[in-house]
Structure 1
Amino acid sequence: MANILSTGTSALIAFQRALTTVSHNVANINTPGYSRQRVEFEARSPQYAGVGYIGRGSQISDIRRVADELANARLIDSGGELARLQQLSSMANRVDALMSDKATGIAGLWSGFFGSVSALSSNASAPAERQNMLGQANALTTRFGQLQGQFDMLGREVNGGLVAGADEVNRLASEIARMNAQIGSATSAAPDLLDRREQLVSQLVTYTGGTAVPQDGGALNVFTAGGQALVVGTQPSQLTTVADPYRPERLQLALQSQGQTIRIDERAMGGRIGGLLEFRNQVLDPAQAELGRIALGLATSFNAGHAAGMDQQGAMGGDFFNVPAPAVNAHAGNSGDARLAATVADLGAVDGRNLVLKWTDGAWSATDATSGAAVAMTGSGSEADPLQVAGLSLVMTGAPQADDRFLLQPTAQVAGGIGVAVTDPARIAAASPVRVEAALDNLGSGKPTALRVVDARNAALAANVQISFLDGDQYEIDGDGPYPYTPGSAISANGWSFVLDGVPAAGDTFNVRRNGAGSSDNGNAALLAGFDDRRSLDDGSLSLNGAISGLTTAVGSAARQAEYAAEAQGVLHEQAQATREGISGVNLDEEAANMLRLQQAYQAAAQIISTADSMFQTLLGAVRR
């Protein structure tokens, strides 16, 4: 009877604990990262009864979580990649919205400005048209500044995201290290503790990307996507932010471990932090640099064209736009007192790339700041022999020391500094400084067209000049010559040129004279109105209009690619989640069946105990007689 009672009791306790486990599974059906638990039964050691061994019931040998480490690792990895792409897509879409929306983009005001220049060319002496052109120019430069401000704000958001992400990474890493200590010291780790640690690892990887590698003793080591250790056993590393050595307002990541601070390669991070860094490096910085290049192209080329004209006061035009010089930032670790000042030498060669200039072995070298590729550079840096690199000219003051470095940003800050230099509408140089007239008694059909100033600094630009044709094939300039002439070729002298439409005859003369104050001539305004289509960028292969379209398209393409990649990764992540849930997730139908089976077994075990009690009572009754 004692054996029957003991057997029934062991079964009752085992089934009760199994029912508790089933209840625990059902209770955690919606708990993120929970792995269903399974009870392992085994027979208790039998007892020898002289004629053989008699069983003594059952007991629970283990309560295990149902998990597949490969499926879990795949889910963690896909979660980190999804977080990276979603972060990148979200930020890139904001830049796309800025550039493509009519209310915030530059295309509308750009068209408005050049439309006002075209209107001025139709009525060069009208005060209203001149004032409208200044208003449109101010609106355009203001929009450039607003876009630069929005880009700067996005840069500050990236900084804030890095600080917040580093704090969260440190919290999670510390918690994982603490749980490694608990799990490593336990004889048999609780399934719920393993689930909790795995969930923390998954959360950590969504910030940094990377992998979790088990080590002897049950601990998990966690590494970033670039292989930097975040958790090793019970020791967490500390992720922190440090100032960029060239631009203190820009934060970078560093890892503090064993008393050392090691800067992390931004390309080695995944997860949300990696998405922020990728957005800054591959979307924000290029968009900012290209916007600045467009602003630089507009200001530089328009200033050159405006300087070749004459205003209503009879003076040559000066700069129409104020444009800041390219930025040159010294490295925080420089030991010399050298400074570099940059100016634009060749607009067509300026591509907007950031360059690192380094002083080594008594000479300067240049490399691409992103790829590290060498960039051709000439000159010594003196005023007589400036450094020439990527369309820029640089003059050095002071003395550099070995390994001193500078970051050259040709266009990154230009959009925020561009402004309108002209405040008086009368100072707009709409007129050409000279005009060309055909003599009334000319016999040929030649008519002067396409008059333009090619060198506004020529001292004899405004001097009166007479062109006399000896015949249809040659001419003289103020008696000098003769010079050969072919129909359609330009006639030039003293910094100006024009073309004849038609055929001149022998004895025909054309007079070039200076325009005076108050002239209603629109020659220069007509030229300025077409500057947006002039191919002044990429060595004369790209117009300003083409650059604006290219920038909008490039930003939109980057945003779409990130969005499509995030959508694709979302599908892969769902598949990984489904695989993990298919193995480790709680199935209510299965748990209900287990509960019913265990309930029946529990009732049967209780009946065994009841039977043993009846037998015992019968025995007691027999003894009492």
Structure 2
Amino acid sequence: MSVLSTGTSALLAFQRALATTSHNVANINTPGYSRQKVDFATASPQNLGYGDIGNGTRITDVRRVADQLAISRLLDSSGELARLKQLSTLADRVDSLFSDTATNVSGVWSNFFDTVSGLSSNASGTADRQNVLDNAGTLASRFKQLNESLNTLNGEVNNGLIAGASEVNRLAAEIAQLNGAIGSNANTAAPDLLDRRDQLVANLIGYTGGTAVIQDGGFMNVYTAGGQAVVVGTTASKVTTVTDPYQPERLQLAMETQGQKITLDPKSLGGQIGGLLEFRDSVLTPTQAELGKLAVGLASNFNDTHHQGVDLYGNMGGDFFNYGSPRVTGNTGNTGTASFSASFGDLSRLDGQNIVLKFDGGAWQATRADTGAAVPMTGTGTAADPLVLNGVEMVMSGTPAQNDRFLLQPTAGVAGTLSVAITDTSRIAAAAPVKAAASLGNTGTGKVSGVAVSDYTNTNLRNPAAIVFTSATEYTLDGAGPFTYTAGQTISANGWSFVLDGAPKVGDSFTISPTPAGSSDNTNALLLAKVEDAKTFNAGTVTLNGALGGLTTLVGSAARAADYSLQAQQVITDQAQASRDSVSGVNLDEEAADMLRLQQAYQAASQLISTADTMFQTILGAVSR
């Protein structure tokens, strides 16, 4: 009986060990699976008076081979990898928009200014004028297309947050349920349940980032990168999306707690959701602001120069481009009646950064929306004394209440409002508003050059004027004077100016007269062609062309930085995965060796049972005689 009992215990133990080995082999490709191992121990011996006789073997545990430190390291790395993958993927899409010749601004920008230069060669040519309008329309459409593409990406971020919140809730609920099934002692839990929980936690951290902590007793708690509890024991938190208090078109993530929704700081989230929010804040928003800033600079400078010329009808030029104004939106929690209207002021100080205005009861305070740094501001907000900050002027109406807040978006979305203001080619103001000429009877060597408009709003700009030199150092203007003259000085009046080359003599006269309708003069067309080189931004140190190049560089740098970080994190994650697999991964060679060894042991145990049977038969045969 002892031989039979010993053989039976061995047979059952080896059979279960073989089943575990086959389970390992079957799950070699199962994500998150940890190799399982059977622990053997001798069965309790039997005392027969003369000594203890062994009773075979027994299985004490079927456990998974796992290193919790390696698993935790892999979880942390996986969350960061998911964040960088999301950030890099979306940043690459923006980079493609601004680098691909089929979608970028640079190509159509160059084409437009090339046609303006062409107009300066044939200022009255109908075809050249039509080319300018056609290419201006193409340029405006490209700004709109890019702005719309960026809006579409914002919509994708919103959809990603909605889908992510739903998945986080599902995973958190299942993890909490598994915590309950595993119970307070993970040492006695089924290995497959522990693996399932680890895999769900890895998926959850892939969405939110953060860490998982084993609670005393075996429960696993999950926290976001910012420390917010998502799962604690058998309780799962619920996340949802809420609209931004300033920008309803943008969603934010919030946690529902005791019937209230607490908005989560984007910086406290990692994983895919953190990558979505970081992309929106660090890539999408700055890009859209810089694109709008470029559109404002182009339209404003081109309009200003266009105003200084006259068209083929003989009228002063009007706006060539239409474009929008800065956007100011109130916080949904405001209790006052205040509202703002905003306009662009000094473009050299224009900054696309979003600004938060807060009323403290006595005055307005301005801070950057992204960093919270204070922003200098002047004015009181009245029409006579508007609030002025970063190149934007704001006029308030209504009455603010304590702690009322407003968000100023100086240039976001302005690119989508750009359009061509004229359709008639004859309305292009290519000629100078006035022309200067020397009298044919002049005896001096003075020649007119550098005729320019200094103030196109002057009501007397186009009035005829006569300059007569009463001596080599004095002149009269329409009989007024005399005025002192020195060689090379600028003569100016009524919003125009010019310079004389050479030396005028007594009696020499020069006339200023309005440019007539139908003039082929190209003076203003030449100025329009140079608008792209106007030093517009950063206190007059950056040209429009420079700003265009800076925009492309901004997007490209963000995409490259995200890609470099992703590559580095991929290496770290691969190392963490290898470390985990070196402990928990299934090795087919090892499993094959175990299977052969167990198979031989199983056969030997079977032989023991066969031997016991033979012994029984021998005894039975002896007794029967």
Same fold (TM over 0.5): yes
Please give the secondary structure, in 1, of the residue aligned with 2:216.
Answer: coil
- Show the 5 A alignment for 1:347-362: 347-362=347-362
Give the structure 2 partner of residue 255 of structure 1. Answer: 255
Partners in 2 of 1:474 and 1:42 — Cα distance? 120
Query: What secondary structure does 1:437 align onto?
Result: strand
The alpha-carbon distance between structure 1 residues 504 and 605, as it changes in their structure 2 partners (threshold 3 A), is farther
Task: Specify the code of the residue in structure 2 equivalent to 1:426.
Answer: S
| Structure 1 residue 503 displacement after superposition | 5.3
Q: SS state of the match for residue 451, structure 1?
A: strand
Whole-angstrom CA distance in 2 between matches of 1:591 and 1:517: 95
Any idea what the Cα deviations from partners look like across 1:572-621, whole Å, max 9, x if unmatched?
Answer: 21111111111100001101111111111111111111112112211111
Matches within 5 A, 1:53-92: 53-92=52-91
SS in 1 for 2:7: helix
Mapped partners of 1:8, 1:505: distance in 2: 133
- Give me the whole-angstrom Cα distance separating, in 2, the residues matched to 1:231 and 1:465: 84
| Paired AA for residue 181 in structure 2 | Q
Q: Which amino acid aligns with 1:202?
A: A
C-alpha contact 1:439 1:510 (8 A) present in aligned 2 = yes
How many angstroms does 1:450 deviate by? Answer: 2.8
How far apart are residue 9 of structure 1 and its match?
Answer: 1.1
Which amino acid is the alignment partner of residue 483 of structure 1?
A: T
1:297 partner letter: G
Matching residue's letter, 2:529: A
Amino acid at match of 1:495: G
Summarize deviations over 1:441-482 as a string: whole Å, max 9, x none: 445554333322111111221122333456666655444243
> How big is the shift at 1:67?
0.5
**Contact preservation (8 Å) 1:87, 1:272:** yes
Per-residue Cα deviation, 1:293-344 (whole angstroms, up to 9, x for no partner): 0100011111111111111112111111111111111111111111100011
Q: Structure 2 matches for 1:40-119, cutoff 5 A?
A: 40-119=39-118
Q: Report SS of the residue matched to 1:83.
A: helix
Asked if 2 retains the 8 angstrom alpha-carbon contact of 1:476 and 1:483, the reply is: no
Aligned to 2:408: 408
| CA–CA distance in structure 1, aligned partners of residues 602 and 140 of structure 2 | 82
Residue type of the alignment partner of 1:23: S
Deviation at 1:388, TM superposition (A): 0.9
Alignment partner of 1:227 is 2:240: no
Seen in structure 2, the aligned counterparts of structure 1 residues 222 and 517 have a Cα distance that, compared at 3 Å, is same
Please name the residue that 1:275 is paired with: 275
1:534-549 to 2 correspondences below 5 Å: 534-549=534-549
Give SS of 1:242's match: strand
CA contact (8 A) 1:141 1:420 kept: yes
Distance 1:483 1:555 in 2: 55
SS at match of 2:395: strand
Does the Cα contact within 8 Å between 1:39 and 1:62 map onto a contact in 2?
A: yes
- 1-side partners of 2:265 and 2:133: how far apart? 47
Distance 1:165 1:209 in 2: 12
Equivalent residue, structure 2, for 1:140? 139
Q: Following superposition of structure 1 onto structure 2, how do residues 127-526 of structure 1 map, counting pairs within 5 Å?
A: 127-184=126-183, 188-469=188-469, 475-478=475-478, 479-487=480-488, 489-502=489-502, 504=504, 508-526=508-526
1:570 aligns with 570
The 10-residue stretch of structure 1 (506-515 or 87-96) with the greater mean CA deviation from structure 2: 506-515
CA distance in 1: counterparts of 2:583 and 2:92, whole angstroms: 37
Q: Is the 8 A contact 2:361 2:401 kept in 1?
A: no
Counterpart-to-counterpart distance in 2, 1:619 and 1:134 = 115
Bigger mean CA deviation after superposition, 239-248 or 434-443: 434-443
What CA distance in whole angstroms lies between the structure 2 residues aligned with 1:50 and 1:377? 100
For 2:173 and 2:407, how far apart are their aligned partners in 1? Answer: 37
Shift of the 325–8 alpha-carbon distance from structure 1 to 2, 3 Å rule, reads: same
SS of alignment partner, residue 498 of structure 2: strand
C-alpha displacement of 1:484: 4.5
Shift in alpha-carbon separation, 1:107–1:43, aligned structure 2, 3 A: same
Change (3 A) 1:14 1:445: farther
Task: Work out the CA distance in 2 between the residues paired with 1:505 and 1:556.
Answer: 61
Inter-partner Cα distance in structure 1 for 2:502 and 2:265: 66
Contact between 1:438 and 1:510, CA under 8 Å: does it hold in 2? yes
- Whether contact under 8 Å (2:76, 2:210) holds in the other structure is yes
Counterpart Cα distance in 1 of 2:337 and 2:546? 41
The answer on whether the counterparts of 2:184 and 2:219 sit within 8 Å (CA) in structure 1 is no
Cα 1:87/1:463, change in 2 over 3 Å: same
Question: Quick one: which amino acid aligns to residue 201 of structure 1?
Answer: V
Distance 1:291 1:509 in 2: 50
Deviations 1:192-248 (A, max 9, x none): 000000000001111111100111221111111111111111111111100011111
Letter in 2 for 1:189: A
The residue that corresponds to 1:35 in the other structure is: 34
AA of the residue aligned to 1:389 = L
CA contact under 8 A between 1:92 and 1:279: conserved in structure 2?
yes
Q: Displacement, 1:185?
A: 5.2
| Map of 1:25 onto structure 2 | 24
2:570 alignment partner AA: G
- CA offsets 1:88-129 (integer angstroms, 9 cap, x no match): 111111111111111111111111111121111111111222
C-alpha deviation, 1:257, in angstroms: 2.6
TM-score using structure 1 length: 0.97
Q: Specify whether residues 204 and 111 from structure 1 end up closer, same or farther in structure 2 by C-alpha distance, changes over 3 A only.
A: same
CA distance in structure 2 between the aligned counterparts of 1:485 and 1:290, rounded to whole angstroms: 46
Instruction: Return 253-262 or 227-236, whichever deviates more.
Output: 253-262
Q: Are residues 84 and 504 of structure 1, via their aligned partners in 2, closer, same or farther at CA, if it must alter by over 3 Å? A: farther
Which amino acid letter does the alignment assign opposite residue 64 of structure 2? R
Q: Which amino acid aligns with 1:164?
A: A
TM-score (norm 2): 0.97
Q: Distance between the aligned counterparts of 1:481 and 1:562, measured in 2?
A: 69
**Secondary structure class of the residue paired with 2:189:** coil
Question: Counterpart of 2:45 in structure 1: which amino acid?
Answer: P
Structure 2 residue matching 1:337: 3-state secondary structure? coil
Q: Give the AA of the match of 1:610.
A: S
Residue pair 1:436, 1:512 contacting (<8 A) in 2 also: yes
* Farther-moved stretch of structure 1 (174-183 vs 39-48): 39-48
Quick check: 1:451–1:523 contact (8 Å CA) kept in 2? no
| Conservation of the 8 A alpha-carbon contact between 1:475 and 1:485 | no
How many angstroms does 1:440 deviate by?
A: 3.1
> Structure 1: where are the runs of 5+ without partners?
none
Computed over aligned residues only, the root mean square deviation of the Cα atoms, in angstroms, reads: 1.6
- Matched residue type, 2:220: L
C-alpha displacement of 1:17? 0.8
The code of the aligned residue for 2:342 comes to A
Q: Distance in 1 between matches of 2:215 and 2:283?
A: 39
| Counterparts of 2:446 and 2:539, CA distance in 1 | 34
Distance 1:150 1:587 in 2: 49
Contact 1:287/1:555 (CA < 8 Å) preserved in 2?
A: yes
Report the Cα distance in structure 2 between the residues aligned to 1:565 and 1:441, rounded to whole angstroms. 76
Aligned amino acid, residue 618 of structure 1? T
Alignment partner, residue 6 of structure 2: 7
Q: State how many pairs are aligned.
A: 623
